[in-house]
Chains A and B, each alone.
Chain A
Amino acid sequence: MIIDRNVVIIGAGPAGLAAAVELSKSGVDGVVVLEREPYEGGILNQCIHDGFGVIKFNEVLTGPEYARRYIDEANKLGIEIKKNSTVISMSKDKEITVLSPEGLLVYKTKAVILAMGCRERTRGALSIPGARPVGVFTAGVAQNLVNIKNIMIGKQVVILGSGDIGLIMARRLTLEGVKVIAVVEKMPYSNGLARNVTQCLEDYGIPLMLSHTVVNIEGKERLKSVTIAKVDDNGEPIPRTNKKIECDTLILSVGLIPENELSSGAGVELDELTQGAIVDENLQTSIEGVFACGNVLHVHDLVDHVSSEAEKAARSVITYLNNSYKDHDNILVKAGDGIRYVIPHTISGKKDVTFSMRVDRQWSNIKLCFKNGSNLIKSFNYKRLSPSEMVVVNLKGTDLKDIDGLEVSIDEV
C-alpha cells in the first residue's frame, strides 16, 4: 500500500516531536511521524531523572515531563503519529517502507526528517578481553530494564565510562539498593556534566577512578569480577597496575552512535567523525529533501538543544517545500585546532547559522574563533570548555558575508 505525504518524520522522540510541532504550528499539513515504540517520547521515557528543560522552558523537568510538553502539543495540533511502526528502509527517492501490525506500508513523501536517535557502543565493539559471562549491560539497556520494565540487573556494580548515562545510573542503582562500587573512566576527566559528578557520585560516596579502564572480565556463567588498570596518556594500560574488583554486574557507558542504518541505506553521506549525516546550514543532508536533527545527526548532551535543532530542521523543510532552495551551500566549514567536529559542514555565507561543536579536550580560558583564512570574523571567550559539553554558537549572516571559507578553532587567550 502506497501513501502520499508531504513530510515523513522518522522517530517520535524529542527531535521528531519538536519538528512535527514546529511544522504543524506553521500550517504544514500532510505530516506523519513514524514511531516504532507503542508510545511517543523516545529515550526520554526512561530518563526519569531531572535536569531537562532548563534552557527551553526555564524549568527543571524530568525526561517524561519534557516529552509530555511536546506530546500534549502534538495531540492538540492533531498531528498524525503512527506508533508500533518501524521504518525498515528508505530509498534515495524518499520512499519509506514501514512495518506495522497493519501490514507493510510505503510512504512516498516530498521531505523527510531523520530523527532516529542513537544506539549504544557495546562490549563487543570495545573488545574487552576475558570471559563472556552474563552480567555485562550497556547503561541504556540497564536504565530501560530498571526504570521501565521493573527488572533489577545485579547487586554489586562497576560502571565503565563516566558519561552522563553512566553517572545517572550510578545514582539510580544506588537509590534502588544496589552497591555501586566504582565508576571507572579512561580519560583523566569525567565525560559527563560536572553537576552529574556531584549529584550522582559525590552525593553517594561513589569513587570515580579516572585514567583507569577495564582490562579483563572474569566469571564463568555470571560475572565474578573485573580487572582494572591505570592507563597512560595514550589510553594504554600501564603494566603492573592491575587491580581486581569483585562484582556481579558491569555497566558500560562508553559512547553513543547515531543510528544511521536507514540513512546510509538510502545513500545519505555520513561524516566519519560524528557518524551522522553531512549537512548544510539548513540541516539538509546530501539527499535533497532529506533533513537530519537530534542525536541521529550528532550526539547531544541537552535535550533542549535537540528541540531547537529539530525546530530548525522543520523550518528548513518548510522553505524546501516552497521550493526556495535554489543554490547549494558551498563554503566548507573546517574544524581547526582544538575542535573535534563542527556542524553544519557547509554554509552559504548568506544566512544566520547555528553552529554546534565539541572541543577535543578540556580547555581553560580560551577564545573560540571563527576565521576566514587569517581574518578573524568573530571570537567568543570561554572560561572552560569540555568535550562532554556541546558548544552552540549563533552567527549572523552579516558576520559571514563575503567569506570564501570558514575555520573554527581554539586560541589560547
Chain B
Amino acid sequence: MKFEKEMTCIVCPNGCKLEVIQNDSIIVKNALCPKGEEYARNEMLNPVRNLTSTIRVLNGRLPLVSVRSSKPVPKGKLTEMIKILSEIDVEAPVEFHQIVVKDILGTGVDIIATREVLRDYIK
C-alpha cells in the first residue's frame, strides 16, 4: 500500500518541506541534507523528539535547572517522561551536563542538566 505524506523537517531552521512516500521502502524528497532524510524516516516508523524541560532544584541559587534528553526520545513517551520530571528533584550543586535521570523509561536515553546551578549556602 502506498502512503504519501508531507511534513516539515524540524532538525534545523531551514524547515525543508519534505515529501515522503512509503511503499516497500521510504523515499524522501526535498531534503537539503541527510539529517532531513533520517528525520523523515523516523517520523514514519518511529517518531522521536528531543525532550527539553526543567527539574526542581533543592538548596540551589535557582529554583529550577533546565534539562534535555541526551538523545531524541520516542514521541509517544513524552507525556510520561514529563510526568517523571515533575515528580523528582535534584540537590544543588548541579553540574553542567550532570545526568539527572539515567536511562529514562528504559529507553537508553539520559536526562542531563543543560546548565549548572550552584548551591545556595545562605539559606
Contact = CB atoms under 8 A, between A and B. Distances in A.
Quick check: do A and B touch in the complex, using CB within 8 A? yes
Interface of A: 45, 48-51, 54-55, 60, 62-65, 68, 147-150, 175-177, 193-199, 203, 301-302, 389
A70 to B, nearest CB: 13
B114 A195 contact: no
A48 B75 contact: no
A175 B13 contact: no
Contacts of A51: 12-13
B56 interface: yes
Contacts of B52: 48-50, 62
Given A193-B15, A195-B15, A302-B13, A50 B63 contact: no
9 contacts: A45-B115, A48-B114, A63-B66, A64-B115, A68-B114, A147-B66, A176-B82, A176-B86, A198-B15
A49 B52 CA distance: 6
Interface in B59-92: 62-64, 66-68, 75, 78, 82, 86
Interface of A is mostly: mixed
B114 A198 contact: no
A62 B68 contact: yes
Interface of B is mostly: mixed
Contacts of A198: 7-8, 10, 15
A265 B7 CA distance: 48
B29 to A, nearest CB: 13
Given A149-B63, A150-B56, A199-B49, A194 B68 contact: no
Contacts of B10: 195-196, 198-199
A165 B27 CA distance: 33
Interface in B15-36: 15, 17
Given A150-B54, A176-B82, A389-B13, 11 more contacts: A54-B13, A62-B68, A63-B66, A64-B66, A65-B68, A150-B56, A150-B63, A150-B64, A176-B86, A196-B10, A198-B10
Contacts of A389: 13
B15 A68 contact: no
A150 B62 CA distance: 9
A375 to B, nearest CB: 31
Contact of B13 (A48, A147, A148, A301): A301
Interface residues of B, number: 28
B98 interface: no
Contacts of B62: 148
A48 B53 contact: yes
Nearest to A52: B13
B44 interface: no
A148 B7 contact: no
B13 A50 contact: no
Contacts of B12: 51, 54-55, 60, 195
Contacts of B66: 48, 62-64, 147
A62 B64 contact: no
Nearest to B57: A150
Contacts of B86: 176-177
Contacts of B53: 48, 175-176
Nearest to B82: A175
Contact of A194 (B15, B49, B96): B15
B57 to A, nearest CB: 9
Given A62-B68, A195-B9, A147 B49 contact: no
B11 interface: yes
Contacts of B42: none
Given A54-B12, A198-B8, A147 B115 contact: no
B75 A203 contact: yes
A194 B8 contact: yes
Contacts of B114: 48, 62, 64-65, 68
B100 to A, nearest CB: 13
